């Protein structure tokens, strides 16, 4: 038996396991003996089928099974301890021909690098204090949303709700009257925006031709406008405030204070999430090292699995996993690099502890999110050690972010400044991609 290793990159290796029939002979002998005791054939007593007959009838299958076990055993006992592969190793090829075994694997090695001076890294952080104007805008939105719809003789505008009779149109331009249906199109809602340009300016009684979808997945309809409605805003009263907040607010002033608090919490959480994302981006940019290809592929597979989980365990009908993974190559590299950088940071911040209170805090938050008790959430995690370990990893990473935030330079900027900087960054990224394509 022989193991040879070839360096493809500084972190990618190709491992070849070679063996002969002589190396595998003990395995084959043991397997044949085992199957001799299990195989029953007409004319022979149980366990007494001649070995030669077993080899003739089942030898190929038995040996192929043992070859696979042998390769796995050598990989785990010889390759793993020696090279400590990172990620999911890939078997590229395996052949058993003319009494010669060759199995080839691609494995990843942990990249070697040092953390840069964290104090040299600068990250922008959005800071936003919610204004009274923003609160009033949200109040007006809720009043509009909770208002009554009344029929009007006005033209359709962006705040209208339109009742239509939708009639499918076939490829020859014929109306499919049998499948017509009455629909309500609320132009205040995002899902109705694709009808906006076709309906604006029309009145009840008008007919409008629309096309929904794109390319091969588009469908044509004739919309007969039956009614145009406008919403009459609800009145801002103490009763409205109680109803909207399930009596958490007792009057209008408390209602506005609650809304302000909710908006502020939203911005604070968004700012924190964006700050973490930007810290990761800056850390990745500041560290140049290669990551194993098998590790990058592992992240891509996780992205596809996430799509499957979001669709009740099935991929969408027109979903192309390989095309999807190809489009997320840069993200996979970024996430893979952050994995190793995060490891280094945990080594640096080796005094980080996960205390019972940390876990209780996360369990309480998740219990509130899913509408269950803390004890129910705790029991669920106790029954799933893998999920509990995932929770501990999440807590540990958050603590790493907290410590990292103490070490780097933070530039606090306004929401407008942050959004402007983000747009410039996205534009620069698009221009760079276009340049590469040319």
Beta carbons of 180 and 165 less than 8 angstroms apart: yes
DSSP state letters, 200-215:
TT--TT-EEEEEESSG
Q: How far is CA 274 from CA 8, 263, 267, 305, 390, in A?
A: 36, 16, 10, 24, 22
Higher pLDDT among residues 189 and 303, named by residue: 303
Please list the residue range(s) of the chain that carry CATH number 1.10.3120.10: 270-437
Beta carbons of 363 and 375 less than 8 angstroms apart: no
3-state SS, 367-385, equals: HHHHCCCHHHHHHHHHCCH
pLDDT tens by residue, 246-266: 999 999 999 999 999 999 999
Please tell me the predicted confidence (pLDDT) of residue 188. 85
| Residue whose entry in the numeric block shows the structure tokens 């366990």 | 47
CATH number of 2-108: 3.30.70.1050
* CATH fold group of domain 270-437: Trigger factor, domain 2 (1.10.3120)
Architecture of the structural domain at 148-232: Roll (3.10)
Average pLDDT, the chain: 91
DSSP state letters, 10-71:
SSEEEEEEEEEHHHHHHHHHHHHHHHHTT---TTS-TT---HHHHHHHHHHHHHHHHHHHHH
Share of the chain above pLDDT 70, in %: 99
| Residue whose entry in the numeric block shows the structure tokens 């929770």 | 391
Please list the residue range(s) of the chain that carry CATH number 3.30.70.1050: 2-108
Tokens of 187: 């132009």
| Residue whose entry in the numeric block shows the structure tokens 């506005």 | 256
Instruction: Summarize the confidence of residues 132-150 as an average pLDDT.
Output: 93
Quick one: CA torsion of 201, 204, 208, 214, rounded to 10 degrees? 80
Please list the residue range(s) of the chain that carry CATH number 3.10.50.30: 148-232
Please tell me the predicted confidence (pLDDT) of residue 32. 87
Q: Is the pLDDT of residue 82 over 80?
A: yes
Instruction: Summarize the confidence of residues 17-45 as an average pLDDT.
Output: 88
Q: Is the pLDDT of residue 215 over 70?
A: no
pLDDT tens by residue, 86-114: 988 999 999 999 999 999 999 999 999 99
Please tell me the predicted confidence (pLDDT) of residue 437. 66
Dist CA 156 CA 165 (whole Å): 16
pLDDT tens by residue, 54-70: 888 888 999 999 999 99
Please tell me the predicted confidence (pLDDT) of residue 427. 87
Q: Is the pLDDT of residue 434 over 80?
A: no
């Amino acid at each position: 038996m022989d193991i040879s290793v070839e360096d493809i990159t500084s972190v990618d290796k190709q491992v070849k396991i070679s063996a002969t029939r002589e190396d595998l002979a003990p395995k084959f002998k043991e397997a044949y003996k085992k199957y001799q005791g299990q195989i029953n054939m007409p004319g022979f007593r149980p366990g007494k089928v001649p070995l030669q007959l077993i080899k003739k009838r089942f030898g190929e299958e038995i040996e192929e099974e043992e070859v696979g076990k042998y390769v796995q055993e050598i990989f785990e006992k010889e390759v793993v301890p020696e090279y400590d592969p990172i990620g999911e190793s890939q078997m590229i090829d395996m052949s058993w021909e003319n009494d010669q075994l060759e199995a080839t694997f691609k494995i990843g090695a942990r990249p070697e690098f040092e953390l840069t001076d964290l104090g040299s890294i600068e990250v922008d952080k959005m800071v936003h204090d919610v204004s009274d104007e923003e609160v009033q805008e949200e109040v007006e939105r809720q009043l509009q949303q909770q208002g009554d719809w009344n029929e009007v003789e006005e033209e359709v505008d962006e705040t209208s709700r339109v009742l239509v009779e939708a009639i499918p149109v076939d490829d020859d331009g014929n109306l499919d009257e049998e499948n017509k249906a009455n629909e309500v199109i609320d132009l205040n809602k995002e899902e109705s925006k694709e009808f906006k340009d076709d309906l604006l300016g029309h009145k009840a009684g008008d007919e409008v031709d629309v096309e929904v979808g794109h390319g091969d997945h588009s469908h044509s309809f004739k919309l007969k406008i039956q009614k145009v409605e406008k919403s009459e805003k609800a009145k801002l009263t103490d009763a409205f405030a109680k109803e909207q907040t399930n009596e958490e607010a007792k009057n209008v002033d408390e209602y506005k204070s609650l809304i302000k608090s909710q908006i502020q919490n939203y911005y604070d959480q968004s700012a924190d999430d964006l700050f973490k994302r930007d810290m990761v981006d800056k850390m990745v940019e500041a560290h140049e090292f290669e990551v194993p290809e098998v590790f990058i592929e592992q992240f891509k597979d996780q992205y596809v699995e996430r799509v499957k989980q979001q669709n009740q365990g099935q991929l969408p009908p027109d979903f192309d996993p390989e095309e999807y993974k190809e489009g997320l190559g840069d993200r996979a590299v970024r996430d893979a690099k952050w994995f190793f950088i995060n490891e280094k940071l945990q080594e640096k911040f080796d005094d980080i502890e996960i205390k019972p209170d940390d876990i209780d805090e996360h369990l309480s938050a998740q219990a509130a999110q899913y509408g269950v008790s803390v004890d129910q959430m705790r029991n669920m995690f106790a029954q799933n050690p893998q999920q509990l370990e995932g929770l501990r990893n999440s807590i540990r990473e958050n603590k790493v972010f907290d410590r990292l935030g103490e070490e780097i330079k933070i530039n606090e900027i306004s929401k407008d400044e942050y959004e402007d900087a983000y747009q410039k960054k996205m534009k620069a990224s698009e221009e760079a991609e276009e340049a590469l394509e040319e």
